[in-house]
Chains A and B, each alone.
Chain A
Amino acid sequence: MRFTLIKDLKKDRMMKPILGGLLLFILLYIVADIFVKQQTIGLFSAEVALTLFGNTEEYLDPISKAVFLETLHGEVFFLMMILLTLSAVFVRLRAQKRFSLALLNITMSSALLALLSLAFAYFFSQSFINLYVLTFFLWHIGAFLMTILSLWSLYRA
Chain B
Amino acid sequence: MHSLYRYSVLYFLLFSLLLLGSSFLIFEHKIGFSQLEVVHYYLGDEESFMIAKTPLGLLKIILPHIFAFGLFMMVLLHFLVFTNKRDSSEVLFIIYAAFIAAFLELFSPFLILGGVWVFAYVKMASFFAMLGISLYVSYLLFVSIIKE
B26 at the A/B interface (Cβ < 8 Å)?
Answer: yes
Q: Is the CB of B25 within 8 A of A69?
A: yes
Cross-chain pair count, CB within 8 angstroms:
66
A77 at the A/B interface (Cβ < 8 Å)?
Answer: yes
Given contacts A69-B25, A69-B26, A73-B22, contact A108 B5 (CB under 8 A): no
Q: In terms of DSSP, what is the predominant structure of the interface of chain B? A: helix
Which of B6-14, B47-55, B104-112, B113-121 lies at the interface with chain A? B6-14
Chain B neighbourhood of A116, CB < 8 A? 18
Interface residue range, chain A = 20 to 34
Given contacts A80-B16, A81-B71, A84-B12, contact A69 B4 (CB under 8 A): no
Q: In terms of DSSP, what is the predominant structure of the interface of chain A? A: helix
Which of A108, A109, A119 lies at the interface centre, i.e. has the most chain B CB atoms within 10 A of its CB?
A: A108
Least Cβ–Cβ distance between A74 and chain B, in angstroms: 8
Least Cβ–Cβ distance between B113 and chain A, in angstroms: 21
A50 at the A/B interface (Cβ < 8 Å)?
Answer: no
Given B4, B19, B25, B72, which contacts A101 in the complex, CB threshold below 8 Å? B4
Given A81, A84, A112, which contacts B18 in the complex, CB threshold below 8 Å? A112
Q: Is the CB of A83 within 8 A of B23?
A: no
Measured in the bound complex, the distance between the Cα atoms of B7 and A105 in whole Å is 8
11 of the cross-chain contacts (CB-CB < 8 Å) are: A66-B26, A69-B22, A76-B15, A80-B16, A80-B18, A84-B12, A84-B15, A88-B5, A88-B8, A101-B4, A104-B7
Q: Which residues of B contact A (CB under 8 A)?
A: 2, 4-5, 7-8, 11-12, 14-16, 18-19, 22-23, 25-26, 29-30, 68, 71-72, 75
